[in-house]
Structure 1
Amino acid sequence: MSDEIQEKIKNYRTAPFDARFPNTNQTRNCYQNYLDFHRCNKSLKAKNQDPAPCEWYRRVYKSLCPVSWVQKWDEQLEEGTFAGRI
């Protein structure tokens, strides 16, 4: 993993502005970063690469999403009933 990415993750405090979600309601931003994290993990693990770069997405969704949503989505992933495409 590049030093620049490691430095960004190390200095991470809260989710940065994302032009795809300019409004104050960050629900879609939360959900999209949750999906991006799991897609990134799935993709890199399939290629036998280190999934460490995916950590950025996890930190963003953890700072944006309510814990209850994440727990519910994680349970749905385990049960195979999650509605998102990963």
Structure 2
Amino acid sequence: MLDVEAQKPPPGKWTTPHFDPRFPNQNQTRNCYQNFLDYHRCMKSTNRRGKNTQPCEYYFRVFHSLCPISWVQRWTEQIKQGTFAGKI
């Protein structure tokens, strides 16, 4: 489900995430977590409806820009095990 290599843009095409007024402070931990949740919620709802998952790529790029890889790996493992604390 989370195939990082397949969804990466060509080298040099990563952009800095835009300003999100919900997270105005320098600490972007909540922004990282919220975009991770939004990505998985978007994927879940679009897959369930059989629609294109293209709009979900924005959340993917943002949380991959903001979140440490170790967090993303741990959260992904928790989702697979069914122990993730967030509501997806």
- TM-score, normalised via structure 2 length: 0.84
Unaligned 5+ runs, structure 1? 1-8
Q: Which residue matches 1:19?
A: 21
1: CA distance, partners of 2:16 / 2:84? 26
Q: Which residue matches 1:31?
A: 33
Give, in angstroms, the shift of residue 12 of structure 1: 5.1
2: CA distance, partners of 1:41 / 1:20? 22
Aligned structure 1 segments of 4 or more residues deviating by more than 3 angstroms: 9-12
2: CA distance, partners of 1:48 / 1:63? 28
Counterparts in 2 of 1:1-86, with a 5 A limit?
13-86=15-88
Superposed CA offset, 1:8-63 (max 9, x none): x9965011100000000000000000000000000011101011110000000000
Q: Higher helix proportion, which one?
A: 1
How many percent of aligned residue pairs carry the same amino acid? 59
SS of alignment partner, residue 84 of structure 1: coil
Q: Which residue matches 1:6?
A: none
One-letter amino acid matched to 2:60: R
Aligned length: 78
2: CA distance, partners of 1:54 / 1:72? 20
2: CA distance, partners of 1:68 / 1:78? 15
1: CA distance, partners of 2:71 / 2:57? 19
